[in-house]
Amino acid sequence: MKKFYYITCIATLAIIGLQLFYIHSLYVNYCSVLHQKAEEALVLSLDKEFSLRKGKRPSDKSGEAVLQIESFHLDLDGARDRMPGASTGDVLQQIRQDFAMERGLTLELSLLDSIYSSAIKGLFDYSLILYDRNKQPVEVAGAADTLSADFSSVLHPIGTHGYQYIQVKTSVLLSPFIREEAWALFLSVAFMAIACITLLFQFIVIRRKTRLLNKQEESVNGTIHDLKAPLNSAITVMSYLAMTVKEQSVQEIVRLSSQNLKHLVSNIDSLLIMARRNRKKLVLNRTEVNIRTLVEQVKTELDILYQEKPHQIIIVPPADTPILAYVDYMYMENVLRNLMENAIKYADDNVKVTVDATVDNHSLHLSVSDNGWGISPSDLKKIFEPFFQVPQEHNLPKKGYGIGLTQAKYIVEEHGGRIGVQSERRKGSCFTIIIPC
């Protein structure tokens, strides 16, 4: 259940993160456009300011700090050298600035501020900063705090001799950005809200269904477990009848009934193991078990159960060779029963099943092979999945419920071992088990 919580949380965070990244991209693009506008507006404002300034008469600046300007003369080649990379039009414009300053018509920052303010139409806060020839600020106009500005233009020279420079620093306002991108922001926030609400609803439904499923599982598991008590009582009665009844025919019926009841108890144990597989580990009661004796016991039971189907179960090595391993007797019997019974069920008449068991290098090696129907390569990858059944011919009825091999794999892995299979269609299968003991 926890993985669903994690998936829901990760999906929610991913959606929020993507939308925030989208909004941030919108904002960055908006700022980039504004910065370009700020630069272009400054260039145009400088041209307008110069046009207005050059038409004025030089004012008497006695008593004020006067810009120290050398005598200018038209030197186009020298101006080009002082402005490398500039176009001829820009060089000529700056030469005109030189002549204007020579006449005492220096840049009027207040006039430039007025022109610039009209050009940008309140899109952002700004500061216009006038620098001297040493590139030290001497005058500031505008409203923005130059220290918190998020964009600074290049220094634009006033004239070709570098006696004055002008620069604009801007701070982007959120309100124009919100107004311009209102629909995109609204749709993005709405998408985030809908997605988060949907995921939250899904989270709540999954949690509610999981609680209900857990209660149902507990009820079913309890019911299944309670079935074992009357069945064990019936097995005890059958054992008592087998000891007291003298007639051979009745004893055979009692023995067969007892075997069927034990098989039913084994199926109940399988269901309980599958139900608890994802919740808790098996509690193994490891004891020294003679695997040879265990295989013979399972063989006897299956011979009785499938006495109407011709088959042959061969046990290797011979009977006088004990095979001792520290395993859980009940669970290992369950594994052997599943593998041997599958070999008989999924085969034609006269199937031959071979069980080979050895102990080598402190490991139990078990193999159950047959010459039955076999398994196709595409199905081999799925046979240990819960409730998977190998597709059979249309005229063959389905056998079992698809939990035996899943249970066998689970039990073997809880013993610290591993299980594998090799099979070929129409040539049979061979299941191998290795368990450290």
Residues 78-93 pLDDT 10s: 666 667 767 777 777 7
pLDDT above 90 (res 435): yes
Quote the pLDDT of residue 275. 66
Q: What is the pLDDT of residues 245-272, one digit of tens each?
A: 778 777 778 777 877 777 777 777 766 7
Quote the pLDDT of residue 312. 94
Task: Using alpha carbons, list the distances in angstroms from residue 103 to 69, 77, 78, 109.
Answer: 10, 22, 20, 17
Q: Which residue has the tokens 């069980």?
A: 355
pLDDT confidence band for 49 (50 / 70 / 90): confident
Q: How far apart are CA 404 and CA 397, in angstroms?
A: 17
Write the burial class of residue 286 (CB in 10 Å: 0-12 exposed, 13-18 middle, 19+ buried): middle
pLDDT confidence band for 77 (50 / 70 / 90): low
pTM of the predicted protein model: 0.51
- The percentage of the chain sitting over the pLDDT mark of 70, rounded to a whole number, equals 82
Mean of per-residue pLDDT scores for the chain: 82
Q: What is the pLDDT of residues 229-248, one digit of tens each?
A: 777 778 787 777 777 877 87
Q: How far apart are CA 361 and CA 157, in angstroms?
A: 89
pLDDT above 60 (res 394): no
Q: How far apart are CA 306 and CA 282, in angstroms?
A: 30
Note the helical H segments in 88-155.
88-102, 109-120
Write the burial class of residue 163 (CB in 10 Å: 0-12 exposed, 13-18 middle, 19+ buried): buried
Quote the pLDDT of residue 73. 52
Quote the pLDDT of residue 162. 79
pLDDT above 70 (res 96): yes
Q: How far apart are CA 291 and CA 205, in angstroms?
A: 49
Q: How far apart are CA 284 and CA 364, in angstroms?
A: 16
Q: What is the pLDDT of residues 59-73, one digit of tens each?
A: 554 434 445 444 445
Tokens of 95: 């030469």
Q: What is the pLDDT of residues 140-173, one digit of tens each?
A: 888 756 567 788 888 888 888 778 899 999 888 8
Least confident of 20-29, 184-193, 248-257, 389-398: 389-398
Q: What is the pLDDT of residues 116-141, one digit of tens each?
A: 989 888 888 889 999 988 889 888 88
Q: How far apart are CA 63 and CA 70, in angstroms?
A: 20
Q: What is the pLDDT of residues 272-315, one digit of tens each?
A: 776 666 655 777 889 999 999 999 989 988 888 888 899 999 99
Q: How many other C-beta atoms can be found within 10 angstroms of the C-beta atom of residue 67?
A: 15
Q: How far apart are CA 384 and CA 399, in angstroms?
A: 16
